[in-house]
Amino acid sequence: MKKDWKRLLREQLVGRIGKADIYKVAYLTQGEEDNSVREALYALLFDSDNQVAENAAWVFMHSDLANSEWLCDKHDALKDEVMRTSRAPKRRMLLNLLLRQPFYAATVRTDFLDFCIDRMMAASEPVGIRAYCMKLAYLQCRFFPELRSELRAVLEIMEPGYLS
């Protein structure tokens, strides 16, 4: 009988959880063979319960290299979710997950690049999100001299006191 991993994981990720709980769930997703637990956890990133979705992101942040590599196939969906979510903790964790993934010239999306540049300059964003967006903007601009110049210009106009 096949386990209903999504239901089982969701039960563990409801409400506040600690690092020990995170590591227990992360342990279940480790390895390169069976992706059923990993798929279930990934589906929970998009759960309607914000706490469940944030806890799922937290688990992925504490997972092994195989999970980071597995998420590479989900690159565009993660970008879409970063731009869609209004929750700062979830956005910060998803940006962190994207920073662990390779960026290539062919995968640069202008909507995500614009998002990163807008958020790195937004005073309303927490410092962590702004820093991650700055790094991600660079990772995308580095392939194109004209975009690197544009990013440099944006960084130069930012007030030094504005940067933490």
- pLDDT tens, per residue, the chain with 164 residues: 457 889 999 999 998 999 999 999 988 888 766 688 899 999 999 999 999 999 999 999 998 877 888 899 999 999 999 999 999 999 999 999 999 999 999 989 999 999 999 999 998 999 999 999 999 999 999 999 999 999 999 988 887 666 66
Query: Which residue segment(s) compose the domain that 9 sits in?
Result: 1-74
Q: State the pLDDT at residue 163.
A: 61
Cα separation, 12 vs 16, in Å, equals 10
99 domain residue, yes or no:
no
1 domain residue, yes or no:
yes
Contact 150, 110 (CB under 8 A): no
How many domains, the chain? 1
147 domain residue, yes or no:
no
Cα separation, 116 vs 121, in Å, equals 9
29 domain residue, yes or no:
yes
146 domain residue, yes or no:
no
31 domain residue, yes or no:
yes
pTM of the model: 0.91
Cα separation, 73 vs 83, in Å, equals 18
74: closest CA among 37, 38, 106, 115? 38
81 domain residue, yes or no:
no
Q: State the pLDDT at residue 42.
A: 96
Sorted by sequence, the CB contacts under 8 Å of residue 114 that are 6+ apart come out as none
10 domain residue, yes or no:
yes
